[in-house]
Amino acid sequence: MSSFIETEEQKDLRAAVSKLATRFNYVDYVLPKARKGEPLTELWNEAGKLGFLGVNISEEYGGGGAGIYELALVQEELSAQGAGLLLVVVSPAICGSIIGKYGTEAQKQEWLTGLADGSKIMAFAITEPDAGSNSHQITTTARRDGEDWILRGNKVFISGVDQADAVLVVARTEDHKTGKLKPALFIVPTDSENLVSTPMEMDIVEPDHQFTLFLDDVRLPADALVGSEDAALMQLFAGLNPERILGSAMAIGMGRWALEAAAKYAKERTVWKSPIGAHQGIAHPLAQCKIELDLAKLMMQKAAALYDSGDDFGAAEAANMAKYAAGEASIKALDQAIQTHGGGGLTKEYGLSAMLGAARIGRIAPVSREMILNFVAQHSLGLPKSY
Ligand SMILES: Cc1cc2nc3c(=O)[nH]c(=O)nc-3n(C[C@H](O)[C@H](O)[C@H](O)COP(=O)(O)OP(=O)(O)OC[C@H]3O[C@@H](n4cnc5c(N)ncnc54)[C@H](O)[C@@H]3O)c2cc1C
């Protein structure tokens, strides 16, 4: 994208995704499923069949041959109906991008076609109990045993392991056990022997679940390694920028959903002479939310355009800024939507307060607000580091 005007194709994609998401909207479909803790399988399957989940994957492997811009557009429109798919952030965005850039031909044949139509799902595991924000501290280790690899370590907060066919695990080789992270990435099938996954008890009303993983000497064939075993951080960033952009898209869509609900209610609800939306105390905060969401979206689009043009470094700053802005704008929009609904905002009828936990994810994952501020302070402003 070299201008701010979307092509007819992109507009058509937005409209088509929005149409699907309206059928699978938050109040009628997502919320009942989320309350039961069930994944959005029907929506996932239909979105997959329509080609929405693999728009960024190369046509050679059954994808749409477009970019992260288009995948973000899909996620934003799904989320704008409250039907964002968390695993889109992980499966086609992170794993699809990394395998697409660094995978062998055999890995691409085996995985990309399935990720493109959604028939295969891949989770992504980097976070560890003693290395949350500090991924340089991860200790999951891969050691050679003949041709094979043996993986040992613990991961936490891994989304969607129950739905996934495999997990892309970030480890480090024995040769690089300490010091600056040289990530080695492995495709670990979820039915691998000695891989133990346990659901975490989260307190978020959401259809997807987080898991702890214990890799208790999981044996993998040589071809489980993606790319080089000490490929420096670039290989990981091929996936982490799309993750931030897609996380932004989810937050922006969620914010749009909340804002739309608020505006609708503010036009209808009348307790004095005119609808509550006529009071500036209600109208102005909603207008501010609209501005902040649109600004976050612009930064997300910039990040996606930079990433798709191959400028990973430039994309990193924009993707971080977009994720920060989107997380903040979406939380604010949801909070203001609740306020606009008065007591109704806390009832089950509107589902607004049920979304609070899910909206807060945007401030914490995949990278927290504070770590983004650190990034901007150090990389954009050249300030010294305290940690
Ligand atoms: C719903 C959900 C889904 C997730 N899914 C996945 C997944 O699929 N795969 C995966 O690998 N991970 C996943 N995560 C993990 C997520 O990426 C981490 O939670 C996140 O990176 C923060 O790490 P932490 O929770 O360990 O927090 P910590 O690193 O312990 O940080 C705690 C607090 O301290 C702050 N802090 C830490 N260091 C600094 C510093 N130097 N300066 C200032 N403040 C600092 C943080 O910003 C944060 O506010 C998920 C998390 C959630 C909540």
Full set of structural domains in the chain with CATH: 8-121 (1.10.540.10), 123-226 (2.40.110.10), 232-380 (1.20.140.10)
218-223: average pLDDT? 97
3-state class of 127 per DSSP?
A: coil
Cβ contacts of 308 within 8 Å, gap of 6 or more: 1, 67, 68, 69
Pocket of ligand 1 contains residue 124 by CB under 6 Å: yes
> Has residue 264 got a pLDDT over 90?
yes
3-state class of 215 per DSSP?
A: strand
CA–chain centroid gap for 89, Å, is 3
Q: Whose CA is nearest to atom 23 of ligand 1?
A: 132
Pocket of ligand 1 contains residue 168 by CB under 6 Å: no
5-33: average pLDDT? 97
Task: Give the per-residue pLDDT at 108.
Answer: 98
Task: Give the per-residue pLDDT at 286.
Answer: 98
How far is 254 from 206, CA to CA, in rounded Å?
13
Pocket of ligand 1 contains residue 127 by CB under 6 Å: yes
Centre of ligand 1 from the C-alpha of residue 45, in Å = 30
Pocket of ligand 1 contains residue 364 by CB under 6 Å: yes
Mean pLDDT of the chain: 96
CA torsion sign for 40, 46, 50, 54 is: positive
Residue-wise pLDDT tens digits, 312-353: 888 999 999 999 999 999 999 999 999 999 999 999 999 999
Task: Give the per-residue pLDDT at 232.
Answer: 61
| φ, ψ dihedrals at 199, nearest 5° | -65, 140
> Has residue 1 got a pLDDT over 70?
no
Centre of ligand 1 from the C-alpha of residue 135, in Å = 10
> Has residue 146 got a pLDDT over 70?
yes
Q: Whose CA is nearest to atom 45 of ligand 1?
A: 370
The tokens describing 361, both together, are 């994810």
Pocket of ligand 1 contains residue 173 by CB under 6 Å: no
How far is 240 from 112, CA to CA, in rounded Å?
18
Task: Name the region of 187 (left: φ>0; alpha: ψ -120 to 50; beta: rest).
Answer: beta
How far is 5 from 3, CA to CA, in rounded Å?
5
How far is 28 from 46, CA to CA, in rounded Å?
17
Indicate the angle between helix axes 232-268 and 312-340, nearest 10 degrees. 20
Residue type, 318: A
Task: Give the per-residue pLDDT at 312.
Answer: 84
Per the DSSP assignment, residues forming a β-bridge with 305 are none
Which percentage of the chain shows pLDDT scores above 70?
A: 98
| φ, ψ dihedrals at 148, nearest 5° | -80, 170
346-361: average pLDDT? 96
290-296: average pLDDT? 98
Tally of CA atoms within 13 A in the half-sphere of 7 that contains its CB: 8
Q: Whose CA is nearest to atom 19 of ligand 1?
A: 365
Mutation pick for ligand 1 pocket among 181, 215, 244, 368 (CB with most ligand atoms within 8 Å): 368
How far is 43 from 29, CA to CA, in rounded Å?
9
> Has residue 32 got a pLDDT over 60?
yes
Length of the chain, in residues: 387
276-285: average pLDDT? 98
Mutation pick for ligand 1 pocket among 85, 88, 91, 127 (CB with most ligand atoms within 8 Å): 127
Q: Are 274 and 353 in contact (CB under 8 A)?
A: no
3-state class of 68 per DSSP?
A: helix
**Sorting pLDDT into bands at 50, 70 and 90, what band is 3?**
confident
pTM of the predicted model, to two decimals? 0.97
Q: Whose CA is nearest to atom 1 of ligand 1?
A: 361
Per the DSSP assignment, residues forming a β-bridge with 195 are 215
> Has residue 147 got a pLDDT over 90?
yes
Task: Give the per-residue pLDDT at 2.
Answer: 60
Mutation pick for ligand 1 pocket among 138, 364, 386 (CB with most ligand atoms within 8 Å): 364
Indicate the angle between helix axes 41-49 and 8-23, nearest 10 degrees. 150
Which percentage of the chain shows pLDDT scores above 90?
A: 92
DSSP element (H, E) containing 15: helix 8-23
> Has residue 186 got a pLDDT over 90?
yes
Task: Give the per-residue pLDDT at 176.
Answer: 73
**Sorting pLDDT into bands at 50, 70 and 90, what band is 174?**
confident
Pocket of ligand 1 contains residue 56 by CB under 6 Å: no
Residue-wise pLDDT tens digits, 52-82: 999 999 999 999 999 999 999 999 999 999 9
Least confident window among 117-126, 181-190, 216-225, 293-302: 181-190
Pocket of ligand 1 contains residue 95 by CB under 6 Å: no
- Other residues' Cβ atoms within 10 Å of the Cβ of residue 262: 26
Helices and strands (DSSP H and E) totals, the chain: 13, 8
How far is 248 from 237, CA to CA, in rounded Å?
16
